[in-house]
Amino acid sequence: MCGRFVHTLPKEAMVQLFDAVPANDLPEGDNYNVCPTNQVHAVLQTEGQRRLTAMRWGFLPHWYKAPNDGPLLINARAETVAEKPAFRAAVRERRCLIPATGFYEWTKDEEGNRLPWYIHATAGAPLVFAGIWQDWERDGDALRTCAIVTTAANKTMSEIHHRMPVILAPEDWPLWLGEAGHGAATLMTAGPEGSLTFHRVDRAVNSNRARGPELIEPI
């Protein structure tokens, strides 16, 4: 799964990277501990143009009566996303890109303590997760929400976890966004071996209140 990630990409860089028009309500500043229900950056295709916008990380199906009406859906499994009632329309019609600098995963030691790892691109480039999104509205409250698509880990990632986000290369973005026709399902696989690297970080990141660049420093 993917339960926390890091975002330190400047707005201007994302606008250029994705050739997207930015919204006015984007999250400000670096976030070294992006948590579920936070606002995140996402790129979607609408009205013939890419748009960089803000979304709540935590997908809300249209039948939820309130944001806490059911399970917090931060991830969607690639193997079942086309079948699950919550996700099947979104994966056909509402796919997005979710940029990140890196993400966290956890292992456990012999005493059961959770040990965090920071994962990022070996080449230092931004990561772009495959996402799906959903507009939710109830009693005057409106939210644009998203989930990250995950898949079985490749050999590299399986050393620390059995799942990983679907990470899209730039040449795959048009297909995922629906700009290049059909066939997005073929992209929902683990990335190539060697494209990611990871290191242990301090357990301070276990708290969702933790902030600051020291969270990704190796220990």
Q: Please list the active-site residues.
A: 2, 105
**According to the 3-state scheme, what is the secondary structure of the chain?**
CCCCEEECCCHHHHHHHHCCEECCCCCCCCEEEECCCCEEEEEEEECCEEEEEEEEECECCCCCCCCCCCCCECEEECCCCCCCCCCHHHHHHCEEEEEECEEEEEEECCCCCEEEEEEEECCCCCEEEEEEEEEEEECCEEEEEEEEEEEECCCCHHHCCCEEECECCHHHHHHHCCCCCCCHHHHCCCCCCCCEEEEECCHHHHCCCCCCHHHHCCC
